[in-house]
Amino acid sequence: MAGACLTRAALVLCACAAFACDRPAGEDHAEVVVPSARAQAPTRIATRDLPADARRVVAIGDVHGDLAAGLTALRTAGLIDGQQRWSGGDTVMIQVGDLLDRGDGEAELMDLFERLRDEAPFAGGEVHLLLGNHELMNAAGDLRYVTRGGFEQFARTPPHPTHEADVRRAPQLAHGRLRAFLPGGPYALRLATYGLTYRSGDAVFVHGGVLPEHWSELAGMEREAQAWLRDEGRVPSGVALHPDSPLWTRRYSVRPDARVCAEVGRSLDGAGLRRMIVAHTVQDDGITAYCGGRVIAIDCGMSSHYGGPVEVIELRAGRARVLSARGAPRALPEVVAD
């Protein structure tokens, strides 16, 4: 439930709930090696200024702690080389949230995607990382979807600068994780650099969805969420608590009917856009287009927790296609004009 653990008392209860059942540890991916995020940056080269609709744009959905799936997605999109360095040239890549929970590779995934964010500009590319509901859940102390390995990986996190008393009221195994992700913690500060939405050309990218009433509030929602993650503000209730917030809504990703598709049209037309790329809800048949191609739902359940295909979406010159690790690319419907 959205915002279930956003009070200090509930934080401890949610940390305890994480241990209520015997969850198996996430998959081990011992053969996967992520180069250090502190590696020396490449030499900057000349870059091109391209119109937004001429750039190749790739979006990656929920990865949920599965480093192997994340690497496969990046390779499928042609964005990394054999050393896991950026090889995407001037591609714009957006990861639409939910790197966290359900798997053991969360820290490595954050290191990887943030390093690519640093590397891409030297080749003329861009990487934009967005918040998902699971990022805010961890910052709120909601640890119900953390694997045992996900707790153990953060066990050595130093005491929290402001919330250590709250940390110590939780079960011992949760202490390091809470120290890392509660607002002001080292990983929360990293998440504070992630955005809420991203616009490129005629498309908007968001974890859950942008409803018509959200547009006038998006910038403020993002500022509030980032300030909270830095421990500089209150819980951003419009983002973290409301079930139809941009991070939580499933309105556009669960087989939307004609009425919902009409709402999608109002939302996009009002912003001068043609497409909305969303995640958050696992699609039964991989990446799926709805509403005459105006919504593309890209949570394909790629993590080992779900066992879905590894797929990414590519947008170029107004056309969309799915790139799959399992087979040939497939085109998605072009946007139907009104």
Residues forming the active site: 134
Find all residues with CB under 8 Å of 178, minimum gap 6, and list them: 11, 15, 141, 143, 160, 163, 166, 167, 170, 185
- Give Cα separations from 226 to 105, 118, 189, 220 (angstroms): 23, 19, 8, 10
Q: Which amino acid is at 214?
A: H
DSSP β-ladder status, 197-200 and 126-129: unpaired
Measured CA to CA, the distance from residue 262 to residue 248 in angstroms comes to: 20
Measured CA to CA, the distance from residue 277 to residue 204 in angstroms comes to: 6
